[in-house]
Amino acid sequence: MSGFVTQAEFEQAQRVVYQNLNPTLQHVWPVLANEMGCELWLKHENHTPLGAFKMRGGLVYMHSRVQSGHTNGVITASTGNHGQSIPYAAARHDIASVVVVPTNNAQDKNAAMRALGTELIEVGHDFDAAKAKAEDLAKARDLHMVPSFHRALVQGVSTYAHELFSEAGALDAVYVPIGLGSGICGVMAARDLLGLKTQVIGVVSERANAYRLSLEAGKPVSTNAANSFAEGIAVRTPHPEALGAIRQGAERVIEVSDDLIAEAMRVLFRATHNVAEGAGAAALAGLMSERDKMTNKRIGVILCGGNIDADKFAYVLGGQTPMPG
């Protein structure tokens, strides 16, 4: 698994990332640890300047592209966090960017992307439809299509996992949400570079379970829909390279309900006073579903982002589970 990130690539990623952000917090919150019955290290990627882990990968991807002499405009598809990362990093090199998002995308995320100076295009009913449109526009407008999964993205996001392991040490397991897979692959890469035996457990919504189905089938399996309110993990089509890495390096991939994700959001706010978006709470939901297996163990949980519309978060805090869109 560490083939995604060599030691030299990791050290270069650190240099690029830490020119733009400080390491984020990993902390054992007493109330949360007591409730979960384990030594729970919560990794706060909601504390980056863009509110999510994706910032790290975008910085490394755009740096690598510019170092290779490519300075034309870029386009990508996103539900919001990758779509902030790429414009943020592109602007640092005076490169224009375009982001294509689904028509039902979170409005606060859309506002954040526009504030970074990108051209925002709303089209399609989900991420995969937006991605298809972005690919068409890339050809029509001679733009570089930035993928949502790429080795350089993994190299960037592996820095957060290295921060976690460097402070927490040899954890028994880490729960990571899976969108297209850069986060979980970054965790596995950092683990392998450090020579640890930590189990890495991927978490998907039962309403967007393509990766779990694909692992079961032994090949990529697309679903007809990905109707989770946790838009950051609402993906219909897995990435083959990410799937292969997860099959090789992860302990398992588990499904959780959207109701449990919403409950995990409430638990995080009550126990730590941190805001988690749906994808950001999915890892904790995974631990909650396996609480009995992890009693008294040392566990990492990745809070990958906190970018959620205020009205949706208020709805969740009121005890409800949002519908997608």
User: Under DSSP, is residue 63 helix (H, G, I), strand (E, B) or coil?
Assistant: helix
* Model pLDDT, residue 4: 82
DSSP β-ladder status, 199-205 and 252-256: parallel
Q: Above 80 in pLDDT, residue 2?
A: no
What end-to-end distance do the CA atoms of the chain give, in Å? 35
Radius of gyration of the chain (CA): 18
- DSSP lists the bridge partners of residue 147 as none
Distances (CA, A) of 80 to 134, 277, 312, 316: 14, 11, 15, 19
Mean pLDDT of 29-47: 98
Q: Any idea how long the chain is?
A: 325
What is the set of domains in the chain, with CATH numbers?
2-52+151-317 (3.40.50.1100), 54-146 (3.40.50.1100)
113-165 pLDDT, tens per residue?
999 999 999 999 889 899 999 999 999 999 999 999 999 999 999 999 999 99
Residue appearing with tokens 């949706």: 312
Is residue 324 very low, low, confident or very high in pLDDT (cuts 50, 70, 90)?
confident
Q: Are 87 and 73 in contact (CB under 8 A)?
A: no
* Model pLDDT, residue 311: 95
Whole-prediction pTM value? Answer: 0.96
